[in-house]
Amino acid sequence: MENKLGVSTLTQEVKTIVKSIDEPGAIQEATAILRRGGLVAFPTETVYGLGGDALQSDASMKIYAAKGRPSDNPLIVHIGRSEDVYKLAEVVPEKAKMMMEAFWPGPLTMIFKKKSFIPDETTGQLPTVAIRYPSHPGTIKLMRDSGIYIAGPSANTSGHPSPTTAEHVYHDLNGKIDMILDGGPVGIGIESTIVDFTGDIPTICRPGFITKKMMEEVIGPVIIDPALIEPDPSLHPKAPGMKYTHYAPQGKLSIVENKENPALVTDAVVDKINELVAEHKAKGETTAIMTTSNMANRYHADHIILLGEQASGDTVAAHLYAALRECDDTGAQYIYSESFNRDDLGGAIMNRLLKAAGHRVVQV
């Protein structure tokens, strides 16, 4: 069913089975569900995906309905071996092959001209297809044993943070999908880097764990989609999903940062956050602070939510989405977060954090 905004809605509840992906028989059961056009959430190294058979247009329609996602926002097609890219993509440029060698299986999605048999429903009517070979062994086994290419966006309700545990998936999609394969908490915690290979110069459409620098060491110059740098509404992002508001908690989130060096949580930043929190308290408003563990004891808010360690971007990425979900659990009306450097992985983290904050930044 589609309403006027092109957002699909779901009409019927289904029973959602949850099984460990390592439980004997779980992969066979998931295969049977995917074959008949059903939906199975699956673990990857980045975030959990909401899977359907990429070659069944009805399955893709069901994915949009379960997520409440606009159907012009294309899905990523997951494959269980590198060679499968040649079955799905019309043209695979030499540089993309070098990227496959260097980073697959892994947190990298590449966009190619698609073969015409891939349903338009899967690719949001685009002539291109986004392909990723994820590195989770259970999910690779599922794709290899079944021979199915899995269309899979992140397994969250549209607008919520991507799920990094099977519990997050259950929270958002229980009753809307047939099965959740539980593979424990994910390793990376933010979605894959997306690179478009259909133009002259490879273009990053979504920053992620594989950074521009890492790619340039392999294939030379790479550019970043200008729409990602300037929050200018007249620029249309290459990845349609990047235009949507994302991850925003129910409370009003702002980022507080040092003007000269956003990567440093200085005394002035700490003081500013405590001052803002005190103002809210005086008005009877509730607050939460998202902080790295080494700074946590310096704040006085109703809720302190930990984001990993400032010195280690990996730990921040791994905790970010759970922290945003935790903000909602606390019910805090105002949330303040520390800021991170904008290079490399920090850039991918800040891309998500800025979106969650609606680009509200307090500079000190």
Give the nearer residue to ligand TXA in terms of CB position, either 177 or 194: 194
Give the nearer residue to ligand TXA in terms of CB position, either 44 or 258: 44
Q: Residue 114 pairs with which residues in a beta bridge?
A: 89
Query: Does 240 help bind ligand TXA (rule: CB under 6 A)?
Result: yes
**What's the rounded Cα separation, in Å, for the pair 146 and 31?**
6
Q: Which of residues 242-261 bind ligand TXA (CB under 6 A)?
A: 242
Give the nearer residue to ligand TXA in terms of CB position, either 76 or 273: 76
Tell me which of 30, 34, 41, 47 binds ligand TXA, using CB under 6 A.
47
Instruction: Name which of ligand TXA, Mg ion, none residue 179 binds, using a CB cut-off of 5 to 8 Å depending on partner kind.
Output: none
Tell me which of 100, 118, 142, 194 binds ligand TXA, using CB under 6 A.
194
Instruction: Name which of ligand TXA, Mg ion, none residue 119 binds, using a CB cut-off of 5 to 8 Å depending on partner kind.
Output: none
Instruction: Name which of ligand TXA, Mg ion, none residue 8 binds, using a CB cut-off of 5 to 8 Å depending on partner kind.
Output: none
Residue 60, judged by CB atoms within 10 A of its CB (0-12, 13-18, 19+), counts as buried
- Say if strands 223-224 and 203-206 run parallel, antiparallel, or are unpaired: parallel
Interface mask toward ligand TXA for 120-139; x: CB under 6 A: ---x--x-xxx-x-x-----
**Least Å from the CB of residue 209 to ligand TXA:** 9
Query: Does 335 help bind ligand TXA (rule: CB under 6 A)?
Result: no
**What's the rounded Cα separation, in Å, for the pair 294 and 362?**
21
Retrieve residue 310's tokens: 């400032």
- Say if strands 287-291 and 334-337 run parallel, antiparallel, or are unpaired: parallel
Residue nearest to ligand TXA (CB): 241
Q: Which of residues 15-44 bind ligand TXA (CB under 6 A)?
A: 44
> Is the distance from CB of 203 to CB of 224 less than 8 angstroms?
yes
Give the nearer residue to ligand TXA in terms of CB position, either 203 or 330: 203
**Least Å from the CB of residue 59 to ligand TXA:** 14
Instruction: Name which of Mg ion, ligand TXA, none residue 109 binds, using a CB cut-off of 5 to 8 Å depending on partner kind.
Output: ligand TXA
**Least Å from the CB of residue 199 to ligand TXA:** 11
Give the nearer residue to ligand TXA in terms of CB position, either 210 or 332: 210
Tell me which of 75, 210, 323, 357 binds ligand TXA, using CB under 6 A.
75
Query: Does 241 help bind ligand TXA (rule: CB under 6 A)?
Result: yes
Tell me which of 60, 73, 154, 258 binds Mg ion, using CB under 5 A.
154
**Least Å from the CB of residue 256 to ligand TXA:** 28
| # of chain residues touching ligand TXA (CB under 6 A) | 30
Name the residues that contact ligand TXA, by CB under 6 A.
44, 46-47, 49, 73-76, 109, 111, 123, 126, 128-130, 132, 134, 152-154, 191-192, 194, 205-206, 238-242
Name the residues that contact Mg ion, by CB under 5 A.
154
